Each structure stands twice: as structure tokens, then as C-alpha cells.
Amino acid sequence: MFFRKSPEKFWDLISSFYAASPINDETAYQTKIQKIETYLAVENIVLDIGCGTGTQCFDLAGHIKQAIGIDISRKLLAIAEQRKVERKLGNVEFIKTSLFDERFKAESFDVVMAFYVLHFFEDIDAVFKRIHGLLKPDGLFIFETACIGEHGKMTGRILGGLGWLGFIPKINNLTYRQLELSLEKNGFNLIEKTKFSDSSEEYTLIAKKILKK
């Protein structure tokens, strides 16, 4: 029903509203971008999962060789393409595809980013394993996600119910502890966990690919 089997329709439906929404805490966002820049190098190739309208790709493009943003929403990507032209950025590419697209080769990215999208994946272990495989040795995984499991059982049940009914895309119920355990299990070393905004519940996590034990 509704968005249960086709979450991309949810994002297509709200694309104009989403694109017009301002960043919650602009100062904190800029601080975060500056922090991420310190981890980037001009030769880096970066994959941004769930790039939406391309905000982070654009803001980091000046510090890297190439950004590839992927997303499931055709309409959000169309807005990203339009903004790319306005910003005159030649090193950003957008593709409507999945993280598991076989065209992405092993060890082909220096950095993988995922902002506010990992809570939409059912199997976080499979996602972390895939990202580990896509990263070059010592590559970085930078992400921020809603952790519904931190918000108490009632929030989890309400969002779970809405997702199950198909009113919103399905959302997982993960906690930071579970994310950190999954990172470790899938060959990552957490090197930074920072909360940039006092008005937000979310942390930005930066993890480095290490060889699996």
C-alpha cells in the first residue's frame, strides 16, 4: 500500500517541498562541512548514497576530484541536476540507482558518504559490508542517520506502524550501539563521532576501512 513497496514514490511526491526546506541549523551544517573537508583530498572520488538534491556533493565538490551522488528519487535527482547547472560544477555526477548497482567496482571510492538515508535500509550489516567493499584500503565512511532506537519504544512503534502501513518508507529501529557494532563487524574503525548541532539528536560518524579480522 502507498509507499511500502515503492519508497521512491514517497520521495518523488515530497521532492518540491524537500528541496525548498532550509537546513535546520546552518551554522552547525557549515561547521560539519568544514570538518569533513579536513578528511578529504583533491584526488578523492566520493560516493554519496541518498544524495537527494545534491547538497553535500555540491558543498564538498571544490575539495575533491569527483562526487557521484546516487538516489532512488527521479524527481530529487532532477532538482540536483538543475542545481548542478546553476552552480557550474563539472565534477559532480548524479545517478538514479542502488548502492548495490554492480557497475560500482570493488575498491573504487576513497570516501563513501550517507546523510539521513541509512535508516531506510532494512539490513544495515549488508549495507556496511557493501560500503566496505566499495572503499579503497583506508577509505572513509562518513555518515549521519536517524537512530529511532534511541527515541524509546513508542516512537519506534509509531514509525514502524506507519512504515508497515505504507504511509512513509520503512524505517529501521537502530541505536548508535548497534551501528557501532555493525561497523566493527564489517571492518570499520570508528574514528570520530560528533554532534554538530544542539538542536539535533544525530551524530556524524566517521569510520575508516580496516582489513576484516
Ligand X SMILES: C[S@@+](CC[C@H](N)C(=O)[O-])C[C@H]1O[C@@H](n2cnc3c(N)ncnc32)[C@H](O)[C@@H]1O
* Residue nearer to ligand X on the CB measure, 133 or 184: 133
Based on the shown chain and the rule CB under 6 A, indicate whether residue 7 belongs to the binding site for ligand X.
Answer: yes
Chain centroid, CA 3 distance in Å: 20
Based on the shown chain and the rule CB under 6 A, indicate whether residue 50 belongs to the binding site for ligand X.
Answer: yes
* Residue nearer to ligand X on the CB measure, 100 or 153: 100
Answer yes or no: are the C-beta atoms of 82 and 135 closer than 8 Å.
no
Question: In terms of Cα–Cα distance, which of 9, 21, 120 is closest to 73?
Answer: 9
Based on the shown chain and the rule CB under 6 A, indicate whether residue 145 belongs to the binding site for ligand X.
Answer: no
Answer yes or no: are the C-beta atoms of 196 and 204 closer than 8 Å.
yes
* Residue nearer to ligand X on the CB measure, 102 or 138: 102
Based on the shown chain and the rule CB under 6 A, indicate whether residue 55 belongs to the binding site for ligand X.
Answer: yes
Of the listed pieces 46-54, 83-91, 135-143, 182-190, which binds ligand X according to CB under 6 A? Answer: 46-54
Strands 204-209 and 135-144: antiparallel
Based on the shown chain and the rule CB under 6 A, indicate whether residue 143 belongs to the binding site for ligand X.
Answer: no
C-alpha dist (Å) from residue 62 to 34, 47, 140, 145: 12, 15, 18, 24
Based on the shown chain and the rule CB under 6 A, indicate whether residue 52 belongs to the binding site for ligand X.
Answer: yes
* Residue nearer to ligand X on the CB measure, 110 or 202: 202
Kindly determine how many residues on this chain lie close enough to bind ligand X according to the rule CB under 6 A.
18
Distance CA 80, CA 43 (A): 23
Based on the shown chain and the rule CB under 6 A, indicate whether residue 174 belongs to the binding site for ligand X.
Answer: no
Based on the shown chain and the rule CB under 6 A, indicate whether residue 19 belongs to the binding site for ligand X.
Answer: no
Where in the chain does DSSP place strands (E)? 45-49, 66-71, 92-96, 109-115, 135-144, 188-194, 204-209
Kindly identify the residues of this chain, within the stretch 56-115, that bind ligand X according to CB under 6 A.
Answer: 70-73, 76, 98-99, 115
Q: Report the DSSP beta bridge partners of residue 176.
A: none
| Amino acid making up residue 152 | G
**Residue from 51, 68, 148, 174 in contact with ligand X (CB under 6 A):** 51
* Residue nearer to ligand X on the CB measure, 171 or 183: 171
For binding to ligand X (CB under 6 A), which residues are involved?
7, 11, 49-52, 55, 70-73, 76, 98-99, 115-117, 120
